[in-house]
Amino acid sequence: MEFFEVVRKRNSIRKFKTESISDKLIFEILESIRLAPSAGNLQAYEIYVVKDEQTRRKLSSAALNQDFVYQAPVVLVFCTNSTRNEWKYKTRGRDLYSVQDATIACTYATLSATAIGLASVWVGAFREEEVRNILNLESELKPIALLPIGYGDEKPVIRDRRSVNDFAEFI
């Protein structure tokens, strides 16, 4: 798919088919993440690939009972790992760059999923401490986003977007 077609096609999908996703497709998404930009190329994030249904159900509960989280066959959990860049960038690396790195990685995953015919939805509404406990995260890791991925089973609702002139200030 051509890049701008991928960008236009990407939508938040909250209903997934039960069909599983091959490891080959998951690795394609992970490879695109690996190539994503990051501060100082330090890639200050960790990603948990959750396929286990019980763990997905627990994540769904932690995500304020959003059922689509467990209905997707795979959930990627993006976490900051500030120790990967704090040594170089100090507090800015810990508090900002690691968050940027993880969110850029999640963005690449959403676009890659779309490009290979999968659907996803970015989930930021979750109880952080619960996710931390479910995944037994080390103290330096902070969950930033959940990304359920699967084959979409709904037609996306196209919502109005702001015009470019509404958000871009030309100087």
pLDDT tens profile 110-164: 999 999 999 999 999 999 999 999 999 999 999 999 999 999 999 887 888 899 9
Q: Tell me how long the chain is.
A: 171
Domain boundaries, the chain: 17-154
Exposed (0-12), middle (13-18) or buried (19+): which is 28, by Cβ within 10 Å?
middle
Global pTM reads 0.95
CATH of 17-154, picked from 3.40.50.300, 3.40.50.720, 3.40.109.10, 3.30.365.10, is 3.40.109.10
pLDDT tens profile 23-58: 999 999 999 999 999 999 999 999 999 999 999 999
Contacts of 91-98 with CB under 8 Å at 24 or more apart are 93/39, 93/42, 93/44, 97/38, 97/39, 97/40, 97/42, 97/44, 98/39, 98/44, 98/45, 98/142
